Amino acid sequence: MVHSRFMFKKYSVLILSFVLLVLSVAAQTATQKPIEIDFFTKVKRIANLKVNDDNIFFTISKADKEKNNYSTALYQLIEDKPVRLAKDVSDYFFQDGGIIFQSVREDTDRENIKKGEELTVFQKLSSGYGEADEWLRLPFQTEQVEWIDKNVFFYTKQYDRNFDRLLKANNGNRKEALKQKEDNKIYRIFEELPFWSNGRGDISGRRSHLYFYNKGERKLLSDTLESVSSPELSPDKKTLVYATKASYDGKALEGNQLVTLNVETLEKKVWPLFDKASYGAYQFLNNDEIVLTINRGQEHGKIENAMFYRLHLRTGKLAEIYDGSVYGFGNAISSDIGGGGKQKITFDKEGIRYITTNVDQAPLIHIAYKSGQVTFLTKGNITLQEYIPYKDGFLAVAFVDQQGSEIYFIDKTGNATPLTSINKSLFDEHKVIKPVEITFTNEEGRVLNGYVLPPANYEKGKKYPAILDIHGGPKSAYGTIFFHEMQYWANQGYAVLFTNPDGSDGRGSQFANIRGKFGGIDYRDIMTFVDTALYKTAFIDENRIGVAGGSYGGLMTNWIVGHTNRFKAAASLRGISSWLSFSNTSDIGHTFTYNYWGTDIWENGQLLWDNSPLKYANHVKTPTLFLHSDEDYRCWLAEGVQMYYALQYFEVPSRMVVFKGENHELSRSGKPLNRIKRLAEITGWFDKYLK
């Protein structure tokens, strides 16, 4: 009895503290405007941060509701103010005393490109940054370019075997081949695996070729059915390194190869460092060495972070720097107001630096070459999108707390000072709700955490509906940064719950490795978190909780409604309903399924079926909304349709919304009006069943 009274007092104090914190948050937002459904269209995304002669440059992207698209412009930070230099600039570099960027400015050029003409035009902003002048015009298309100088460079270019066949059939007459290609749009032809790719469309027969351009002469350096990516030149411009997907005709091999090329002789060398490896980020440490990440998960038969190596290109010596077991490469924190960024490895004399995912943040860390010691180079609640060394510290595009992205200077002690206030006033004048942390212990005894966004305008003693939001991935993570979808729901009177269960990024390879465990420990982590959140809060109505999630979160939503009736409504977004169909339709189906289950439908189809949400659709009682895009080739439309079909068959209230011309990235980069419609559909569904 003494123990029971002690526990009651302990949790009573905890709940009281939580309520006081929520009341404090509500008081702070009382005079601010609510987060509206189109708030994301007002947020500016900062990216492509670069420095030239101590001058800071970057791009800003913003949604345009009227045009239903996005615009991107080049800016310079001048006297602490962002000054626009040029519109329609997505990337740029410094050369010949100016800023160079790719852009077609002439209407006749745009029309010719629409007709199928190949053309690349680079513009140059000179000192003073007035109007841009044409710098270089090329009678072919380019993707990635590595410059030796204006007249000598390497570049990648799209190759289409199907169009090449049309050219040959028309004796090289490009005009006739283009006309025939247009006529052939009434059907699609697939001859390879993968045959489509999310965000790229049909890719059967397509490759990315590597060329060398030398004063008007072009030389193809890759095989016809080989695909090249991410070329990078050494500082002395004598060595090119790139990754290649080996030639294939039919089924593509998993993984890739690392290749170096002598710029003078154009002689290539393939580096067979490991079997079944994927070579990712690589940067030149000096003219003779590169630092690179290598993912060996397929070789080891598990999900794991990439490892960091140092490769000497003259001696062939390969040295491991860090096994990546705890701190993987890159920011995996989910965001719907921008993110990504060019995440690079940089160096000092003692080791390497990179952005990692640490639980629910993305800090900058340093790994020592000799000892492998990890040092955090940033402090506090910060999530970096990209960074570059600058003076005695770093410049970074980052999210801090619940603010939008800004440019920060990070000093040598790790403190971050904002250099811009591009999004600050927008966020300050709106009711941005601060997430409240909830800790819980899972079945393995691991202490995990999640968060609750209290409803805006919270009133003590009142009960509110709640939405559990599950992230994608699964090797992704929710952070402590602003997430528009959740903030909108909180401003609509919902409490919002989110956590990072087993399988998420941010806690190392062992935690992320849920191979063969989907719907097991991850499901129980989520349910334990919900139970704990209900126990530790006093304002959530346990009889009015909904669940939503996209991609992996959609899979888990489908799984949850087939295994419990505790949720009164659900929204399954671009999810998986059957591992059998997913593995044979998704652009990553056969590789993803094998990597996460260790089998395929012919080796052990029963295992995949037993772990498919569709198998349990006859148990579902939860009203469920399904939302999909017809060009989502990651989780193809059939995944949503099958589950919707089943619920209609079993007479469970359900609704299917399909967005035309959108793909798996609808919630992050879809057309602005479609993103608004998407969020309206989800919110309307929960309003119907939870309010």
Alpha carbons within 13 A on the beta-carbon side of 157: 24
Are 48 and 94 in contact by the 8 Å Cβ rule? The answer is: no
Instruction: Determine whether 66 is exposed, middle or buried from the number of CB atoms within 10 Å of its CB (0-12, 13-18, 19+).
Output: exposed
Phi, psi of 665 (to 5 degrees): -95, 15
Q: 3-class secondary structure for 94-112?
A: EECCEEEEECCCCHHHHHH
In what order do the strands lie in the sheet containing 374-376? Answer: 346-347, 351-355, 364-368, 374-376
Cα 491 to the center of its chain, rounded Å = 26
Phi, psi of 74 (to 5 degrees): -95, 135
Instruction: Determine whether 191 is exposed, middle or buried from the number of CB atoms within 10 Å of its CB (0-12, 13-18, 19+).
Output: exposed
CB atoms within 10 A of CB 100: 20
Q: Kind and range of the H or E element at 683? A: helix 672-690
In what order do the strands lie in the sheet containing 81-87? Answer: 45-52, 55-64, 69-78, 81-87
Structure tokens at 167: 């050219």
664 is a catalytic site residue = yes
For helices 589-597 and 601-610, the axis angle rounded to 10 degrees is 70
Cα 455 to the center of its chain, rounded Å = 28
Set 335, 551, 577, 586: catalytic member: 551
**DSSP assignment of 616-674, as one string?**
GGGG--S-EEEEEETT--SS-HHHHHHHHHHHHHTT--EEEEEETT--TTHHHHS-HHH
What is the rounded CA–CA span in Å between residue 56 and residue 75? Answer: 9
Phi, psi of 140 (to 5 degrees): -160, 165
CB atoms within 10 A of CB 74: 25
Q: Kind and range of the H or E element at 535? A: helix 521-536
Candidates 475, 564, 466; CA nearest to 511 is 475
What is the rounded CA–CA span in Å between residue 194 and residue 585? Answer: 9
Helices (H), 132-253: 161-169, 174-183
Bridge-partner residues for 362, per DSSP? 383
Set 590, 629, 664, 667: catalytic member: 664
230 is a catalytic site residue = no
Cα 142 to the center of its chain, rounded Å = 24
Candidates 164, 199, 325, 194; CA nearest to 254 is 194
Widest pairwise Cα distance in the chain: 92
Bridge-partner residues for 466, per DSSP? 495, 545
What amino acid positions are annotated as catalytic residues? 551, 664
